[in-house]
Amino acid sequence: MSEKILVTGANGQIGKVLTAALREKYGRKNVIASDIVKTPADNEPYLFLDILNKTRLYEIVEDHNITQVFHLAAILSANGEWNPLKTWNINLNGLITILELAKEKKLKKVFFPSTIAVFGRTTPRVDTPQAVPLEPETIYGISKVSGELLCNYYHQKYGIDVRSIRYPGIIGYQSIPHGGTTDYAVEIFHSALKGETYECFLAPDTRLPMMYIPDAIRATIELMEAPVENIKTRTSYNLASMSFSPAEIYAEIKKNLPEAQITYQPDFRQEIAASWTESIDDSQARADWGWAPAYDLSAMTKDMIEQIEKLYFQHH
């Protein structure tokens, strides 16, 4: 039987690009996008879905004979702090619904995105290993640690083939992310290309693990396609490619766009970033399913500028 995939949170920063990549691979009609927002007509097949609406979710899976779910719907780190209980409800109960569904409807595979936000101040900051203390301070991080544990539980207890990655901050040109702490690394490119001074909400020396979106999408698909016996981590895999601070990415952008300007005005997101780690040891992902990143800071910066220039040129 061929695969029929449901993507939740398909309009988000990762969802948009992942949905397109999955459609390339499995055929447009076999990948159903869903989200809680209206979507442009060119995103068909698309279904409106509130992840907390269990009845609707079950209907979709039954009506479309869904075999895999990529469950991306969630509230991110910065936005999560405005409404912690809502964030817990969407992030955790959304996942539980999907895992129960996987059990009852015998889904072949589930993907769950975790994040560097699972780390906290007790986690080793440099080359953070796979197995470390996880004491996050944001409700987003707490929901993702719990999510990782639930994934592992459903795998151990019910044999659900659920796989997960701890994404670093994701940099992409296809959309402007909202509600995260790493969003600055996308906004800075748009400001530079518009000739505006960028007001950065993190301090200049705040180093965080980051990744260019083509690497993140490829990692997701490679993980999901790896032979089941290779998947040894059922909480979530550390994943890395580059780490930089606002000052470092600004310097790199300036090599390509000498006019670029930045000022620093750290806000509450600075504390969130400071509670995370700065670089990641992803040797387990490399060993188990052959992960290797393609983009470093310089290659990513060049490509981001080229891609955003193309977007602006097409639209203006």
Give the residue numbers marked as catalytic. Answer: 140
Least spacing, CB of residue 126 vs ligand AKB, in Å: 17
- What whole-number distance in Å separates Cα of residue 274 and Cα of residue 202? 9
Q: Nearest Cα to 300, choosing from 192, 189, 197, 201?
A: 189
Query: Does residue number 182 form part of the binding site for ligand AKB (CB under 6 A)?
Result: yes
Least spacing, CB of residue 44 vs ligand AKB, in Å: 28
Q: State which residue, 49 or 209, has the beta carbon closest to ligand AKB.
A: 209
- What whole-number distance in Å separates Cα of residue 82 and Cα of residue 64? 36
Q: State which residue, 182 or 220, has the beta carbon closest to ligand AKB.
A: 182
Q: Using CB under 6 A, which of the segments 124-132, 174-182, 211-219, 243-251 binds ligand AKB?
A: 174-182
Q: 15 has which bridge partners? A: none
Query: Does residue number 180 form part of the binding site for ligand AKB (CB under 6 A)?
Result: yes
Q: Does residue 60 contact residue 102 with C-beta atoms inside 8 Å?
A: no
Task: Map the footprint of ligand AKB across residues 43-82, applying CB under 6 A.
Answer: 76-77
Site of tokens 């405005």:
82
Least spacing, CB of residue 169 vs ligand AKB, in Å: 5
- What whole-number distance in Å separates Cα of residue 80 and Cα of residue 179? 8
R_g of the chain, CA atoms, integer Å: 19
Least spacing, CB of residue 235 vs ligand AKB, in Å: 16
Q: Using CB under 6 A, which of the segments 176-184, 196-204, 237-245, 251-259 binds ligand AKB?
A: 176-184
Q: Using CB under 6 A, which of the segments 27-35, 175-183, 211-219, 229-237 binds ligand AKB?
A: 175-183
Q: Kindly report the number of other CB atoms within 10 A of residue 60's CB atom.
A: 19
Q: State which residue, 49 or 117, has the beta carbon closest to ligand AKB.
A: 117
* Cis omega (within 30 of 0) for bond into 136: no
Q: Does residue 100 contact residue 58 with C-beta atoms inside 8 Å?
A: no
Q: State which residue, 23 or 180, has the beta carbon closest to ligand AKB.
A: 180
Number of residues that bind ligand AKB (CB under 6 A): 10
Which region, left, alpha or beta, applies to residue 65 given φ > 0 means left and ψ of -120 to 50 means alpha? left
Q: Using CB under 6 A, which of the segments 58-66, 180-188, 250-258, 292-300 binds ligand AKB?
A: 180-188
Residue 263: what are its φ and ψ, rounded to 5°? Answer: -130, 160
Q: Using CB under 6 A, which of the segments 85-93, 178-186, 293-301, 304-312 binds ligand AKB?
A: 178-186
Task: Map the footprint of ligand AKB across residues 103-122, applying CB under 6 A.
Answer: 115-117
Q: State which residue, 51 or 171, has the beta carbon closest to ligand AKB.
A: 171
Q: State which residue, 34 or 209, has the beta carbon closest to ligand AKB.
A: 209
- What whole-number distance in Å separates Cα of residue 237 and Cα of residue 200? 30
Burial 204-231 (b: 16+ CB within 10 A, else e): eebbbbbbbbbbbbebbbebbebeeeeb
Q: Determine the residue type at 37.
A: V
Query: Does residue number 169 form part of the binding site for ligand AKB (CB under 6 A)?
Result: yes
Q: 35 has which bridge partners? A: 48
Determine the residue with CB nearest ligand AKB: 180
Q: Determine the residue type at 35.
A: D
Least spacing, CB of residue 36 vs ligand AKB, in Å: 18
* Binding interface with ligand AKB (CB under 6 A): 76-77, 115-117, 140, 169, 180-182
